[in-house]
Amino acid sequence: MTDTALTRTDAPTRTRPRRAWVGALIGVALVVLAVASLFIGVSDVTPASLIAGDADAAFLLVASRVPRTVAVILAGASLAIAGLIMQMMVRNKFVEPSTTGVTEFATLGMLVTIVLWPGMAVVGKMGVATAFGLVGTWVFLRVIRAVPVRQLVLVPLVGVMLGGIVGAVTTFFAYRLDLLQSLGQWSQGSFATVMQGRYEFVWFAAAMVVVAWIAADRFSVIGLGEEFATNLGLNYRRVMAIGTCVIAVITASVLVTAGMIPFLGLVVPNIVSLMVGDNVRRSIPWVAGLGAVFVLACDIIARTVRFPYEIPLSVIVGVIGAGLFLWLLLRKGSRAH
């Protein structure tokens, strides 16, 4: 009996140092990859050239490399958080903005701005995309409420079907209006065009991460169900509205800056859940850090695998993310559900 008690009390003590080591490893990886990202590219920007006072290298570093690296970090962290919040809202580990139709609704909003207001400023386009993302999240939540069978895989399947319908409508009108090429700019995620003056909108996504952190405990409670949250005195509808706004703003700001980045919000929260559980406040730093590391690594691969050409980031993230998700599903004793 004593041995059993010791085993139970020692288990958390053993896991905490392991989590601390993993957290430190994520932090080190983030710093190393961020520094590497600053010096990877076609143009010659090296520490030696900066020390030597090369004005062109210094300008390129400030105008392009630093904004791109910051944008990648913020986009990766915020999209992973958006996936975490959506999973708590829907109470399903298989959902994220790109599997629930939210990204497709936001893309439809971008097409509407191209057709009706072609000269609209980028901040206006982000506002319209956010509004469409809000509508998309609301539609998805309403649809799954009406689904009589609550099987695990059925919920994301509904989201994929909803996104497929909206995506087909968007592609149809883009084809009829000869705007497929313009639409392709948003449907393929890439940070190749990000530079000073073209990345600042991802700071809106960073602000939503702060909002998610402030409301983290409420998201943990609504993850237990509407009835349980209401019994605890929580305003369930208000928290759901906050979560919807967080997801829509993050999706729209990243879409305007870099385009679609699939699977990120699906894989990263599941990996973190295996290590630290489903407490949102405890998970947010891990999810943000791992999301940033994941997108940074994929962006570096996209820039180097066919150097000096770039592969769209969405291709690399999609391939690696799909592989990781299959591993989560098929691993022995998987808890990714």
pLDDT digit string, tens, across residues 13-53: 445 556 778 778 888 999 999 999 888 877 777 787 778 77
Q: What is the pLDDT of residue 10?
A: 45
| Mean pLDDT for the stretch of residues 291-320 | 88
Count of CB atoms situated within 10 Å of the CB of 337: 12
Instruction: Give CA–CA dist 229/235, Å, rounded.
Output: 8
Is residue 291 scored above 90 in pLDDT?
Answer: yes
Instruction: Output the average pLDDT for the chain.
Output: 82
337 has pLDDT over 60: no
2 or 126, higher pLDDT? 126
- Partnered with residue 306 across adjacent β-strands are 309
pLDDT class of 149 with cuts at 50, 70, 90? low
For the chain, give every domain's residue range: 25-330
Q: At residue 117, does pLDDT exceed 60?
A: yes
Our separate counts of H helices and E strands in the chain read 15, 0
Which ranges of 91-215 would DSSP assign to H, the alpha helix? 102-116, 122-146, 154-176, 180-187, 202-214
Residue 278 reports pLDDT greater than 80: no
Q: pLDDT class for 3, splitting at 50, 70, 90?
A: very low
Looking at per-residue confidence, does 202 or 5 come out higher?
202
Residue range 305-334: average pLDDT? 80
Burial class (CB in 10 A: 0-12, 13-18, 19+), 243: buried
Give the per-residue pLDDT at 4. Answer: 42
Instruction: Let me know how long the chain is.
Output: 337
Superfamily of domain 25-330: ABC transporter involved in vitamin B12 uptake, BtuC (1.10.3470.10)
State how far the alpha carbon of 228 is from the alpha carbons of 5, 150, 225, 233, 235, in Å: 31, 18, 5, 9, 11
The pLDDT of residue 12 is 46
Q: At 122, list the tokens.
A: 């980028």
Rounded Cα distance between 269 and 212, Å, is 14
DSSP structure class, residue 120: -
CA distance 83 to 247: 8
174 close to 182: Cβ distance less than 8 angstroms: yes
Answer whether 107's CB lies under 8 Å from 167's CB: yes
| Token code pair at residue 225 | 């169900």
Q: What are phi and psi of 309, to 5 degrees?
A: -90, 160
Residue 83 tokens, joined: 């996936």
Classify residue 61 by its DSSP letter. Answer: I
